[in-house]
Amino acid sequence: TDTKRRDDVRGANIASARSVADAVRTSLGPRGMDKMISSGDQEVIITNDGATILSRMSLLQPAARMLAELSRSQDAAAGDGTTTVVVIAGALLRRAQSLLAAGAHPTAAADSLHRLAARAVQVLEGMAIPIELTDRDSLVKSASTALNSKVVSQYSGLLAPLAVDAALSVVDPAHPELLDLRDIRIIKKLGGTVDDTELVRGLIFDKKASHAAGGPSRIENAKIAVIQFQISPPKTDIEQSVIVSDYAQMDRILREERNYILGMVKKIKASGCNVLLIQKSILRDAVTELSLHYLAKAKILVVKDVERDEIEFITKTLNCLPIANIEHFREDKLGYADVVEEVSAGDGKIVKITGIRDMGRTATVLVRGSNQLVIDEADRSLHDALCVIRCLVNKRFLIAGGGAPEIEMSMQLAAWSKELHGMESYCIKEFADALEVIPYTLAENAGLNPIAIVTELRNRHAKGEKNTGINVRKGQITNILEENVVQPLLVSTSAISLACECVRMILKIDDIVTVR
> Residue 386: in which H helix or E strand, if any?
helix 372-394
Q: Does residue 274 surpass a pLDDT of 70? A: yes
For residues 479 and 149, which has the higher predicted lDDT (pLDDT)? 479
**330, 222: one domain:** yes
Q: How many domains does the chain have?
A: 2
428 belongs to a structural domain? yes
Determine whether 384 is an active site residue.
yes
Confidence of residue 283 (pLDDT cuts 50, 70, 90): low
What confidence score (pLDDT) does residue 25 get? 87
Q: Choose the catalytic residue: 52, 82, 317, 441.
A: 82
- Are residues 348 and 496 located together in one domain of the fold? no
Cα–Cα distance, 202 to 200 (Å, whole number) = 6
CATH number at residue 301: 3.50.7.10
With cut-offs at 50, 70 and 90, classify the pLDDT of residue 76.
confident
Are 345 and 415 members of one domain? Answer: no
Q: Which domain holds residue 448?
A: 1-130+398-508
- Asked whether residue 213 carries a pLDDT value surpassing 70, the answer given is no
Catalytic residue, chosen from 49, 75, 80, 165, is: 49
Is it the case that residue 41 has pLDDT exceeding 70? Answer: yes
| 354 among known catalytic residues | no
Kindly tell me if the per-residue pLDDT of 176 is higher than 80: no
> Is 118 inside any structural domain?
yes
Same domain, 210 and 348: yes
* Whether 347 and 402 share a structural domain: no
* Same-domain check for residues 123 and 227: no
CA nearest 359: which of 204, 188, 169, 222? Answer: 169
pTM of the model: 0.79
358, 379, 407: which is the final residue of a domain?
358
Q: 218 and 354, same structural domain?
A: yes
Residue 146: its pLDDT value, please? 83
**How distant, in Å, are the alpha carbons of 12, 81, 101, 127 from that of 506?**
11, 21, 16, 30
- Please, is 417 exposed, middle or buried when counting C-beta atoms within 10 Å of its C-beta (0-12, 13-18, 19+)? buried
Q: What is the mean pLDDT of residues 11-35?
A: 86
- Other C-beta atoms lying within 10 Å of the C-beta of residue 213: 13
My answer on whether 287 and 409 are in the same domain is: no
Give the confidence band of 202 by pLDDT, cuts at 50, 70, 90. Answer: confident
What per-residue confidence (pLDDT) applies to 244? 80
Is residue 149, in this structure, part of any structural domain at all? Answer: no
Q: Please pick, among 47, 83, 145, 441, the residue that the annotation labels catalytic.
A: 83
105-130 per-residue burial string, b: 16 or more CB within 10 A, e: under 16: ebebbbbbbebbbebbbebbeebbee
Angle at CA of residue 319, ends 315 and 322, nearest 5°? 40
CB of 295 closer than 8 Å to CB of 231: yes
Do 245 and 330 fall within a single domain? yes
Report yes or no on 390 lying in a domain: no
Residue 211 scores a pLDDT above 80? no
Q: How many CA atoms lie within 13 A of 460 on its CB side?
A: 22
In eight-state DSSP terms, residue 210 is: P
Residue 417: give its domain's CATH number. 1.10.560.10
Residue 363 lies in a domain: no
Q: Where does a domain end: 358, 383, 416?
A: 358
Residue 253 in domain: yes
Q: Say whether pLDDT at 240 is over 80.
A: no
**Residues 221 and 304 grouped into a single domain:** yes
At residue 312, the pLDDT reads 87
Mean pLDDT of the chain: 85
Residue 385 lies in a domain: no
- Considering the domain architecture, whether residues 342 and 207 belong to the same structural domain is answered as yes
pLDDT at res. 292? 85
Q: Examine the fold and report which residue of 309, 343, 358 is the final residue of a domain before the chain moves on.
A: 358
Confidence class for position 487, pLDDT limits 50, 70, 90:
confident
Domain contains 380: no
Burial of 270 per CB tally in 10 Å (0-12, 13-18, 19+): exposed
Task: Tell me the mean pLDDT in the region 298-307.
Answer: 85
Distance separating alpha carbons of residues 246 and 304, to the nearest angstrom = 35
Q: What's the mean pLDDT in 333-349?
A: 84
Separation between Cα atoms, residue 364 and residue 382, nearest integer Å: 12
Answer yes or no: do 249 and 323 share one domain: yes
Taking only the tens place, the pLDDT of each residue in 419-454 is 988 888 888 998 998 888 888 888 888 888 889 888
Given the residues 84, 165, 384, 468, the one annotated as active site:
384
